[in-house]
Structure 1
Amino acid sequence: MKLNRNDLCWCGSHKKYKSCHLAFDEKLDDYGRNGVLVPSHKMIKTQSQIEGVRKAGIINTKILDMVADYIKEGMTTEDINTFVHNTTINLGGIPAPLGFEGYPKSVCASINNQVCHGIPEKNTILKNGDIINIDVTTIVEGFYADSSRMFSIGDISEDRKKLIQVAKECLDLGFEQAKPYGYLGDIGEAINEHAEKNGYSIVREIGGHGVGIDFHEEPWVGHIGRRGTGMLLVPGMIFTIEPMVNAGLPDVYEDKSNGWTIYTKDEKDSAQWEYTILITETGGEILAR
């Protein structure tokens, strides 16, 4: 429904539309008339929603900080799941993965050639030389935040050290492109360019996503793109950037026995880091890391 100038703004600010988001909407309309894909109002968070996601992000980040102090050789991935679950509850959150579309655990723990969605198990023991991605999503007072980190178990090879480092660099370079009135394609190009420069590849089928009110929202965030293409980035958008960087080819497959875990097809290693970010009036803000 089209608002009149003196109607209350759609964003929930209780201000008149003319003094709140009218100029913003007119700017988006101009982009749209020029063929640019613009986000819907549903993808733009209100100030109260942003504060809610920010609070969830603080707790999500703290959980991963505590995992960093806890994780070690000889423990099982089920030990990590129990730790994340209990820590989340103790900090006043809810582990979002548990029960999501049937997912059976409170965290994803993906080792070596597992790209993502590794299911914690009692018989999967962390060994010297392993690399593992721990992916945490937390609900706090109805708001979601999502981030992941790579961890090294004991002494890892130089090849694995480089893969982890380049994957983090890819994420940070992508984040640098998360600017108001830039494009999703700017993020994807920066990530893919850096991965390929280092001899790696980016997984195509799985990307980042809007987050905050729900676990997975629009837009879908690809990690391969072309500058100046894709959806327009505007203040108030919240989404994840989470490139999956493969040591070999980008091809992956799903473990049919559990319907979740994604592996590299060539069995080479994969690494991933993830932020939840907010597009602000001046740039990007990391809400969970």
Structure 2
Amino acid sequence: MKLNYVYIDTYRTPTHIQTHFHNCMELVYYHHTTGYITWKHSTQQASNSLVFMDKETGIYEQLDFSDNTLLIIPPNILHDEKHFSSSKVTAIGFTPEKENSFFFHSRNPILFLDHKKIAYEYICKIEKEYSKRSPFYQEMICLLLNRCLAEIDKTGISSTKDKLLEETKHYIDEHFSHKIKIGELAPQFFYCPDYFSKIFKEKFGLTPKVYIQEKRLEYAKKLIMETELTLNQISELCGFSDYIQFSKFYKKKEGISPSQVRNTKE
């Protein structure tokens, strides 16, 4: 891990921190204040919703922070903050050793509501090391930060990731007959497309693309055998762009065309 910066700021009045971004991860701890954070996915378009994740309650449409809450902001996300009262905030910029970490690939800020005790203990130790500025204070802060993130991972982030993957799978199960683009699906569930495909396969054994194909194939086989729908209707209901695409895919997977299957049924 590389330590990029440590800021310990006290604001005596309500404060609006203007839009900015960081080239590294940022861990923010709000000692005492209430407010909210907004962010943009790019310089062109602001996010229409505010989202936070919590291992117990999942995904919500608004991110509000209050006393003793911990926030992790991924790199290169334009964001601003509004504090409704006087506040003390500790911000730590860092670069993880492994870019395949869940934190690094999240597309949105992550707010942890159930790690207050863990966060408070480590933030106090980090602030103490920073105030002393001993010869190896940066190494000590990195060590403490690594331990803090490991504790969070052990007590909640894995279950958060699993829950989001389950929600992604459920979304596909409900919408596989529609046109689904992985590049558009991944950001809905906070992941870069490549990382999303990787962790989806790790959990379910198939990439999202292959999983969608298998769902469509399974449904098509059921409709061919159990209904009188035309093959064109079936191809449309299963999410294929046309019958030709459907027929080629079906034959490639099953070794027989859907029309041949329909003929054997008759």
| TM-score using structure 1 length | 0.26
* Larger relative helix fraction: 2
| TM-score using structure 2 length | 0.28
Instruction: State which structure, 1 or 2, has the greater radius of gyration over its C-alpha atoms.
Output: 2
